[in-house]
A = this chain, B = another copy of it.
């Protein structure tokens, strides 16, 4: 294997772990899988990460933080608070991202057994909530939304989305993909005292 400096190699490991996790899920990803995907030896993985928990946490962080950044960017580019909210919903549930949400499912379940993964998913969940809370506060300040408790409203909006997405990804057939976003949008409209259908989701 070609030599790399520490930073590049760490990156390569995380990328390889992600490629495997995408196929098998976070919980089923092993050191040897990662090494093989990278085309190197398994010892190399442990040269950079003390435990497998750390590898998985880093891989999960890469996806979730990227998604968050992408979404925050789309939100920031929106013309008004309503558009920002719509941008959030659209970015949250891209049609082909079942595997990414499966990563969340694995992270939440494995949190009980893997401390590093748990810390990462907690941090990122908080960051997503903060993003939504920010959208709401902006809308309230601009006089477009009415919401007595933006923090709580943000948690509720995120939670319906998570709860619905969970059904879509884990059970596929029970809820239609389109309903997921539409229904979460409806909850958001009620939270912010918008007319039903205002967001057009």
Contact = CB atoms under 8 A, between A and B. Distances in A.
A70 interface: no
Contacts of A156: 160, 164, 183, 186-187
The prevalent SS among residues of A at the interface is: helix
A116 to B, nearest CB: 14
Interface string A103-134: 00110111111000010011001100100000
Interface string A33-76: 00000000000000000000000000000000000000000000
Interface residues of A, number: 41
A27 to B, nearest CB: 6
Contacts of A158: 163
Interface string A80-100: 000000000000000000000
B159 A155 contact: no
A175 interface: yes
A174 interface: yes
Contacts of A190: 190
22 contacts: A24-B113, A25-B109, A25-B112, A27-B27, A27-B110, A102-B112, A105-B108, A109-B109, A121-B171, A125-B171, A155-B167, A156-B160, A159-B159, A159-B160, A159-B162, A159-B166, A159-B167, A161-B163, A162-B163, A163-B163, A166-B166, A187-B187
List the 8 closest pairs (A to B, CB-CB), nearest first.
A159-B163, A109-B109, A163-B163, A162-B163, A122-B171, A105-B109, A108-B170, A111-B170
